[in-house]
Amino acid sequence: MLLAKSTWPEIEAFLQRSKTVVVPIGSNEQHGPTGLLGTDWMCPEIIAHEAQKASADLLVAPTFNIGMAQHHLGFPGTISLKPSTFMAAIGDWCRSLAGHGFTKIYFLNGHGGNVHSIEAAFSELYAEASFAGRPRGFACRLKNWWDLSGVNALASRQFPTGHGSHATPSEIAVTQWAYPDAIKSADYAPKIAPSGPIREALDFRARHPDGRMGSDPALATPEKGGELVAMAAKALIEDVAAFGAEAAPG
């Protein structure tokens, strides 16, 4: 069930049977010469949208599609928030959803650079609840889509070398499966990109001239992407169900 394609009475009725909502979250940033700028928000969105087709109890909120991408700002098309803006926005999304009665907010993440700031935003929300003495039961969860059960192992089998950490063949394969009309190609030099630290934007571009980090995106195929989506969507349904069923202690 997609929140954006539902009406308020439908969400009110949904809340009678579930208090759990999934928010795909990512980033709009360069992904090398052939990766789509939307890769990091598209991957969790593709997986969550696929999963909700198979489970009537999975409610998917709109995608939070701008994240922590300051280090990619040396490449045209990247849009970034600062950590403080990002955390404030996550807080307001959660406060809005919690105000309607959602007590379990599950973020399916597609960008490693978001992780620390998402966790910090959760800490702010928990602190607010603690200082206000609010009732127990409200919980947020962060899950990277590649950490869903079985997904990392499948990606390792599909791409034993050249996976890397940015503009990876696994994430590009997922977008190729969902958007076959937007598949791009290029002659990569070197074939596997260099790895290195992540600092500010000019440093990043100097270390990673075409935007890739340790990856060979030429290994991506739509078929491999389809396998990853199928495995991730199944695991997402199970993980969200387990999160929703967690009872408050005591």
Restricted to residues 20-39, the positions that interact with Ni ion (CB under 5 A) are 39
Residue 40 touches Ni ion, criterion: CB under 5 A: yes
In angstroms, give the least distance from the CB of 40 to Ni ion: 4
User: DSSP code of 191?
Assistant: S
Residue with the CB atom nearest Ni ion in the bound state: 40
In angstroms, give the least distance from the CB of 235 to Ni ion: 19
User: Is 9:22 a contact under the CB 8 Å cutoff?
Assistant: no
Restricted to residues 157-176, the positions that interact with Ni ion (CB under 5 A) are 171
User: Quick one: which of 60, 147, 66, 68 has its CA closest to 105?
Assistant: 60
Neighbour-count burial of 207, counting CB atoms closer than 10 A to its CB (0-12 exposed, 13-18 middle, 19+ buried)? middle
User: DSSP code of 64?
Assistant: B
User: Is 81:68 a contact under the CB 8 Å cutoff?
Assistant: yes
- For the chain, report the end-to-end CA distance as a whole number of angstroms: 32
Window 120-159: contact mask with Ni ion (x via CB under 5 A): ----------------------------------------
In angstroms, give the least distance from the CB of 31 to Ni ion: 6
* 22 versus 213: smaller Cβ distance to Ni ion: 213
In angstroms, give the least distance from the CB of 28 to Ni ion: 10
User: Is 68:83 a contact under the CB 8 Å cutoff?
Assistant: yes
* 105 versus 173: smaller Cβ distance to Ni ion: 173
Residues that bind Ni ion (CB under 5 A): 39-40, 171
